[in-house]
Amino acid sequence: MQLRLIGTGGTIASRSTPAGRVASVGVKELLETALVFPVPERARVTCDEIGLRASFALGLPDLAHLAGAVGQSLAEGADGVVITHGTDSMEETAFALALVHDDDRPIVLTGAQRPADDPAADGPRNLAAALTWAAHPAARRHGVSAVFDGAVWPAIGLRKTDTLAPAAFGAPGRGPLARVDDGRVRLIGRPPRPAALISADDLGRLPRVDVVPLYVGCDTALLDAAVAAGARGVVLCAFGAGNAPPEVTEAVGRLVADGIAVAVASRVPIGATSAAYGAGGGADLLRAGAVFASDLSPWQLRLLLAAALHRTAGQGPAGAAEATRTWLTDAGHQTG
């Protein structure tokens, strides 16, 4: 069993300085600290350092570079890949990798809420659990997942649910895939896994898609600004199950007619979107040409819509909407 461990930085690799926490711990040192916890003896781990950065500083070219490193690791014969990563954007990186990963071998992300020099650092145990899961036969065909505080979460639907607590992640509305405790894996569920939508190289050239929040008293200013800045798609972080003020809904109809794709997520942490209300609500948004994308966070939906636009270049908003719905249906998500 050959595992590749890829380090990208984040809190798990950080130490405290007078100027704040800074990523400075190499991935080989992280591995040494993890080996005090149970890790499968049959797993041979090789390391690859591709960055020491906070995840809030990453961009799409960085995700493309990481996806390329993952692909190279698999091409060289790795049976699985584990990635240490910052928690701030882990849900987006995990989802981006799920959009491009089309192999049975597992990709597993993990990190930490406390820096490496904290007396109660959580990184070593999280990394040991991630290696244990990656080496387990059941991890195959799961695609991309994240291991944190003993829980294994699917990449699709992953969210950071607590800013500071060790149990930082969840998949609201779903349960974990498995639990990892003291080197033992307890399986819980296996959701459907969709095929890759784009290639790893495509991540670096996705079209611009912006997220626009909706709130009491909002108008179309942010929507108009996104389009003026060159966005080819917009995700509405909408009220409730997917509703918008009538003025915004009217603008959505104009944008779709002009070739701008619009997708709808909810600003509510748990629950799916639903095109149920008229008078400017979800039913009118659907009629205006917006696509409702289940219960993905706005941040993951942004990546999915951008990938769908790239995949269906030249087919307009309708093509991107259909690609979005199809991919989510294959992932076991009900769409509007």
Write out the H or E segment, with its range, that includes residue 157: none
**Residue carrying structure tokens 């990635």:** 83
Measured CA angle at 13 (ends 9, 14), to 5 deg = 105
Catalytic residue annotation: 11
Nearest to 194 by CA among 86, 301, 323, 285: 323
Which tokens hold the place of 23?
């990523």
How far is residue 48's CA from residue 50's CA, in Å, rounded to a whole number? 6
Integer CA distances (angstroms), 30 to 59, 78, 260, 268, in order: 24, 19, 45, 36
What 3 state SS string does 31-59 have? HHHHCCCCCCCCCEEEEEEEEEECHHHCC
Question: Which amino acid does the sequence have at 229?
Answer: A
**Residue carrying structure tokens 């990798």:** 97
Which tokens hold the place of 53?
């950065």
Sequence-ordered list of residues with C-beta below 8 angstroms from that of 294, at least 6 positions apart, any chain: 272, 273, 328, 333, 334, 335
